[in-house]
Structures are given as C-alpha cells and as structure tokens.
Structure 1
Amino acid sequence: MNATALPATTRVAIVGAGPTGLALAVTLAGAGVDFVLLDRLSEGANTSRAGVVHARTLEVLDELGASAALIERGLVIDRFRVRDGSRQLAAMDFSALPTPFPYALMVPQYETEAVLLARLRELGGDVHRPYEVAGAEQDDDGVTLTMATGETLRAEYAVGADGMHSVVREAAGIGFRGGAYAQSFVLADVTMDWAPGRDEVSLQFDAAGLVVIAPLPKDRYRVVATVDDAPSEPDTAYVQRILDERAPGRAKVTGTVWSSRFRVHHRVADSYRNGRLLLAGDAAHVHSPAGGQGMNTGIQDAFALGRAIAEDRLDDYEARRRPVAERVVAFTDRMTRIATTRSRVLRTARNLALPVVSRIPAFRTRLATELAELNYR
C-alpha cells in the first residue's frame, strides 16, 4: 500500500491512526479485508500520553501478533497501592489474575503505536498521511469522505477513530452525552527519586486532589494529578510542588521529559453506528484517566469491530462494546470522585473503609479484574 497516494475506493475507511485506528487496521489486514487508514498528521505524535496497557488488551494484541514486541519495550508491574500521605490504605496484586498477562505493562503510547504500525507494515498495510477528513456523506451504497484538500475516497463503511472531536461522529449526527470535570489534569513524565520505588503503581489521596505515580521504562515515572488550574506546560518545579503537597518527603524530581495538561470529560456516544458510519475509541467514549482505561478500551473496540466486519456481523458490535464503555465511564468516574472529594467527612469515611474492604480477597480480585478489563472478553 502506497502511504501517500489515495486510492479511489476501499471497503473500510478508517479515520485516525492512533492506537484504535492502528489496531483496527491490523485486525482487518490480518483478516484480508481491504481498508484505507487515514491520518491528518504528517507523522505519528511522538508523545507519551497513555502509559499503561492492561491484561485484556495484551490478550488482544497477542491475537494480533503484537504483544511480544510491546512487552519487550515496557515495564511489567503487578502491584497497585493506595495511600493517604505515607499511610497505606489498600494494596492490590495482579499476579493471580486468570490471564497469560497477570500484570499492567507500563509503556508510553508512542511505543504502543510504533509496535502496531510495525505489525501493520508486516501485514502489507500502512498509514496514508497527511489526509485530513473534512466531511463524510453516506448513501445506500457507501460513504464518500472528502479531504480538506478536496480529494475524495469512496468506501463501503467509514470508521471514526478520530478522537473526542470526531468528524465522523458529527457527520453521523450521533450525540455525545456526558459532562466535564471541574478540575484539570496534569500529566508529566519525570526522572525522580521516589520512596516507594519502581515496583508498584501508587495512587495518592490528598485534600488538594489525587496523584498517580507509575514507573515507566528508562528510569522515568509518570505523574498524573488533578489540579484546579494547571499551567499549559507543567515544569519540574511545578511537579515537585504537587508531590511535596500530596506525598511529602517521598519524592525528589530531577527532571521533566514531557508534560501536558488537559480537561477531562466523561461521555459516551448515543450510538456506535449510524448506517455505514461507525465509531471506536475516544470518538465513542471519553472518561477520567483514573485506572488508565481509555486507550485500552479503544484497542479492544477496534479488535471487536474488525472481527465484526470480517465476519459480517456488524450488528453485534454496538451490543458488545457500548455497555463496556458505559461501565468503564461509570467505574472511572466513581474512582475519580472518591479520590478527589474535598469533604472532610467523606475523606475520613473513605480512609476508614478502604483498609477494611481491601483485606477481603473477593474485593481485591474484583477490583483487579475490573482494572485489567478481563470482564470484557
């Protein structure tokens, strides 16, 4: 497939070459289904963004022939701890989960995209760049995508894997109900000395907001924190202040590799399909980064949709995947609200209850299974 010349027709047009679009393309390529994968960027975004791949997603990537290469690039972590200051409230272990991948794989998103792209090229596919889709019109026989440059592509189906502000979703007239959190989120990949070490993911509670600290490859850590109003590019001093406030005496930040801020929404598309227009990933659902579920749910959407197209059972796709998104949005929303409550009464109740319930094996297993998304097979 020529990565620059746009063909006139295809069976499936995929808009957006992030992890969701790439996973769908790999699934279709492996099944021998003709597709064109479009992206508006001249090259993939070389930024960290999503930092964890969960067990169910690794199972999917294994079926796509991409898990081994990704595991080589990542860091295997099977422990999750919840603290308030230095006091441990809960501990969870992924190592007993019923999966070939009983852990969370910590790996920057650009590595996940690189592995999926390499696998796509092994199967004879590639990304057509840069092609910005400006509109999509469907009729009884197919969909016509019009590029910002005026070129067109005719497809039997078009899939919006083009994020929260999806052009395909808008063209399909599909609603995107939900809301936004009042606080903003800071993401930063840093080098630092961190007292709990590199063998666990830590969730820190504090009256000022939550902070998640997770190890990444190359001796880095991912820091995710809620703040009232984050700067556009949080620097080392800013991240240090957050950690001094919420995990006093436990972190010394020595450098910032990458940082960003964003506002988080919690929304689910009213439908995943309108005729020949379909949605997957962030075009279909967005939610809090608590638990690192977003990219994982999108890759699983892509695999389910690709199989549904290949096996001519498209009607099954929404029935299988939209309830998953609703559950993920609800789960991450509960986690976020519990972690970020500023009510002294609710914080006290939370900190009393968590150590009690986390001693119950069934509770720990249920929470680990939910985070690993193994309920969604």
Structure 2
Amino acid sequence: MNSLHHPTSAPLPASTQVLVVGGGPVGQTLAVALRVRGVDATVVDQRSGPADTSRAAVIHARTLEVLTDLGVNDELLRLGLIAPRFTVRDRDRTLLSVDFGGLPSTHPYTLMIPQDVTEHVLTERLHQLGGQVHYGHQVVDVKQLADHVVVTTADGQTIRSAYVVGTDGMHSTVRTQAGIAFPGTAYAVSFVLADVHLDWDLPTDETQLFFDSAGLLVVAPLPGGRHRIVAPLDPAPEDPTPDDIQAVLDARGPQRTPARVRDVVWGSRFHVHHRLADHYHSGRLVLAGDAAHVHSPAGGQGMNTGIQDAVALAPHLSALVEDDTRQGELDAYEAERRPVAARVLTMTDRLTRLATMRSRPLQKVRNAGLRVLDRIPAVRQAVAMNLAELSTDPNRSPAHP
C-alpha cells in the first residue's frame, strides 16, 4: 500500500449483501472487515470525494489491536507518529504524567495520524479487496421489507441489500429512518481546533493537556512537524488565524519558554454533543460509530470507539448473511458495544467537565488532586488503560496482553 489513489467512482450496484451508508473511517473499516470475511459490502457516501482534513487524529492501542487482522496496521504505523506519553500541566508545572509504555498491549502507545490519512489507508485496503467508496450518493429513503432493504439515493438510484448499516454520523439518515431515538445534550461551550507549525521546547512526541484558570488547552503532535491545538473558546472563531491560536497558547500554555505559532495549516470550530442511541439496530438497519454515539473529544475516543464497533459488528453481520435466521446476532452486537459507548460517554463527560470548570477555587482543588494522584502508579496505569480503551476489553486484565 504505497500509493493513495482514488479512482473515479463506479456505478452503484443494483444489489449488495450489506450496504454501508457513510464512508468515513468507521464505514470503511466495516466494509474491509466484511470483505475479509467474504461478504459483499458496498459503501456509499454523500460527500463528493475523500476527506482532505485531519479531524480525528489519534488511534489508541485497543483500536490498533482490533485492526490487526485487516491488513492496515503496517501502513498506519508507517505514516503516523508514535506518542508514548500523555501529560497534564498547569502552565509549566506537571500535574499528572501518563506513560503508555507499560500497557498490556502489543501497541503500548498512541498513534497520532490525521483522519484523512487513516481514511486513505482504509480505502487502499478496500480497493485491494475489490471494494470502493461510492461518493456523491446521498441516501434519502430507507425502506425495510420482509427479507431485504431498498435504499434510494438523491439522484434516484436504488440499491437492494440484506442489511443496511448507518455509519453516517450524528445526523444519521439511517438512524432517523429506523426511528431510533438519539437522546442527549450539547455542551454550551464551543471549541477551536487547528493544525499548526509550532516552535516550543516541550517534547514533540507527547500530548500535552494544559489546565489553566483561563481554560483548557490540548497540544498534540502530528506527523510532518505539525501540532494539533484544541481549546474551548467563547465564542470560537470559525476560521482561526495564527494570532487566534497564539493568544490561546499565551494565555494557557507554557510560560518559561512560550510557544510560537508559525502558521495555521487548517482550522475550524466545533460544538460538542453528548448522545447515545436507544438501540443499535431496528430490523435490518444497524448503527455504528457517531450514528450510535457522540461525545466530547476528551481523550480522543470518538473515532476509536466507532472503529471498534465496526470490527465487532462484522462477524455478526457475516453470520446473518450466511444464515438469515440468526436474528440474535444483532442483539449480541448491541449488548457488546452499547455498554462500551455508555462508559466512554460517562468518562469523556467527566473529563470535559473537569477540564472546563470555571471556578478558580475548584480549579485549585482539581490541580492539587491531580498532583496527589500522579504519585500513585496504579492510578496512572488506570488512566492509561482507560485512554487506550483497553479497559473496555472484558477478556483483558491489567497484567496480561
């Protein structure tokens, strides 16, 4: 997988065994996992073409583990940047340092890699398996019949499939058409996100989380000498400039040797939601990824949880395609993955509220508490296990891979 080419989309097939609606990392992972098992999986996406922005930029240890059998890890590791530590700071003072080197995993680190690169790698693997993402096809209608589903696109094409999986994000058409509720709320604060070239003296292979009275700041390394900046701002600029990011770094980042922004490669703003679907399937319609759960980006869990959904779903769908009477397979998928998402939502919500608290007395208590916890190895290990999502694996103990 040395090239990242994307051929012109072929015509939509009239039928397929599994139709995946949404061609991001979750949808492509599912299609790859199904095709590895011999299932005819077709992917459609309403976008005009592949992603060209970095967005989700971290792959955790558990995700790399579940991707092992899909034939993409070597290329992901070649293109990504290994970050072995996560540090929480109050300006120049370390509050908590989490080392992933002791994780009970074959991947004791986080892999920093832009989402568009991750998508490209998955697309290349999908091509090798005879599949592709059919871009420019917005799904507008999903009709369940007794033994199949008929999906209609905005340009009037129809596809017949045995099962349809919605990996089409927070505003999922599949979830809406399935009638599955998606309760939750949005956080009041908006966030600025930017990929920048940065001069600073802190380690270039370590993710830094700054807790300051002025607010939260995340600085994470990316390949190619770039850094990812994330910070809550009220209001956050829609198209952040170098001066915008510099102001955040000056107010919340290191003081002894301040960071200097050279340029902004890409930036945006976003709002954070906290939602979980009531169910992960309805009849022949199934949900995975952001169509099933959305939450704070704290800890970089979103895409990872979705990719793990996709890999977990593949054997259940494969079994159903082989024997359509095995309807309990989708119940088993929901029973396995929905509690994981619920735990991730709880963890990220706590992290977000902890990081964005405005009371200065409470901020001082929080920071003092983190310094105490930093002295307890078991706590540091537990934090590493949770961030790496290894704690979601029921078959794993902290002592054994």
TM interval, short-chain normalised: over 0.9
Secondary structure of residue in 1 paired with 2:386: helix
Q: Aligned-residue CA RMSD in angstroms?
A: 1.2
Amino acid at match of 1:67: N
Provide the C-alpha distance between the structure 1 equivalents of 2:330 and 2:254, rounded to a whole number of angstroms. Answer: 52
Amino acid at match of 2:115: Q
Partner of 1:90: 96
Higher deviation after alignment, 254-263 or 58-67: 58-67
Deviation of the 1:345 alpha carbon? 2.2
The superposition leaves residues 323-367 of structure 1 with CA deviations (integer Å, 9 ceiling, x where unpaired) of 011111110110111011011221111011111112111111111
1:1-377 matched pairs, under 5 angstroms: 3-249=9-255, 250-312=258-320, 313-377=329-393
Provide the C-alpha distance between the structure 2 equivalents of 1:230 and 1:314, rounded to a whole number of angstroms. Answer: 40
Deviation of the 1:248 alpha carbon? 4.7
Amino acid at match of 1:252: R
Deviation of the 1:2 alpha carbon? 8.9
Amino acid at match of 1:306: A
Provide the C-alpha distance between the structure 2 equivalents of 1:139 and 1:166, rounded to a whole number of angstroms. Answer: 20
> Does the 8 Å CA contact 1:213/1:223 hold for their aligned counterparts?
yes
Amino acid at match of 2:88: V
Secondary structure of residue in 1 paired with 2:101: coil
Deviation of the 1:89 alpha carbon? 0.6
> Does the 8 Å CA contact 1:40/1:131 hold for their aligned counterparts?
yes
Provide the C-alpha distance between the structure 1 equivalents of 2:361 and 2:315, rounded to a whole number of angstroms. Answer: 48
Deviation of the 1:96 alpha carbon? 0.8
Provide the C-alpha distance between the structure 2 equivalents of 1:129 and 1:347, rounded to a whole number of angstroms. Answer: 47
Provide the C-alpha distance between the structure 1 equivalents of 2:375 and 2:181, rounded to a whole number of angstroms. Answer: 42
Provide the C-alpha distance between the structure 1 equivalents of 2:170 and 2:74, rounded to a whole number of angstroms. Answer: 30
Amino acid at match of 2:147: D
Provide the C-alpha distance between the structure 2 equivalents of 1:324 and 1:340, rounded to a whole number of angstroms. Answer: 24
> Does the 8 Å CA contact 1:3/1:127 hold for their aligned counterparts?
yes
Q: With the length of structure 2 as denominator, give the TM-score of the two structures.
A: 0.92
Secondary structure of residue in 1 paired with 2:18: strand
Provide the C-alpha distance between the structure 2 equivalents of 1:320 and 1:203, rounded to a whole number of angstroms. Answer: 31
Provide the C-alpha distance between the structure 1 equivalents of 2:200 and 2:279, rounded to a whole number of angstroms. Answer: 44
Provide the C-alpha distance between the structure 1 equivalents of 2:314 and 2:254, rounded to a whole number of angstroms. Answer: 47
Deviation of the 1:196 alpha carbon? 1.1
Higher deviation after alignment, 341-350 or 291-300: 341-350
Q: With the length of structure 1 as denominator, give the TM-score of the two structures.
A: 0.98
Partner of 2:323: none
> Does the 8 Å CA contact 1:205/1:339 hold for their aligned counterparts?
yes
Amino acid at match of 2:319: E
- Structure 2: where are the runs of 5+ without partners? 1-6, 321-328, 394-401
Residue-pair matches, total: 377
Amino acid at match of 2:286: L
Provide the C-alpha distance between the structure 2 equivalents of 1:115 and 1:325, rounded to a whole number of angstroms. Answer: 25
Provide the C-alpha distance between the structure 2 equivalents of 1:357 and 1:134, rounded to a whole number of angstroms. Answer: 51
> Does the 8 Å CA contact 1:206/1:340 hold for their aligned counterparts?
no
The superposition leaves residues 166-197 of structure 1 with CA deviations (integer Å, 9 ceiling, x where unpaired) of 00000011111111111111110000112212
Provide the C-alpha distance between the structure 2 equivalents of 1:207 and 1:145, rounded to a whole number of angstroms. Answer: 51
Provide the C-alpha distance between the structure 2 equivalents of 1:20 and 1:258, rounded to a whole number of angstroms. Answer: 23
> Does the 8 Å CA contact 2:281/2:330 hold for their aligned counterparts?
no
Q: Percent identity?
A: 55
Amino acid at match of 1:349: V
Provide the C-alpha distance between the structure 2 equivalents of 1:273 and 1:176, rounded to a whole number of angstroms. Answer: 12
The superposition leaves residues 2-26 of structure 1 with CA deviations (integer Å, 9 ceiling, x where unpaired) of 9321111111110000000000000
Amino acid at match of 1:288: S
Higher deviation after alignment, 328-337 or 133-142: 133-142
> Does the 8 Å CA contact 1:182/1:228 hold for their aligned counterparts?
no
Provide the C-alpha distance between the structure 2 equivalents of 1:266 and 1:361, rounded to a whole number of angstroms. Answer: 31
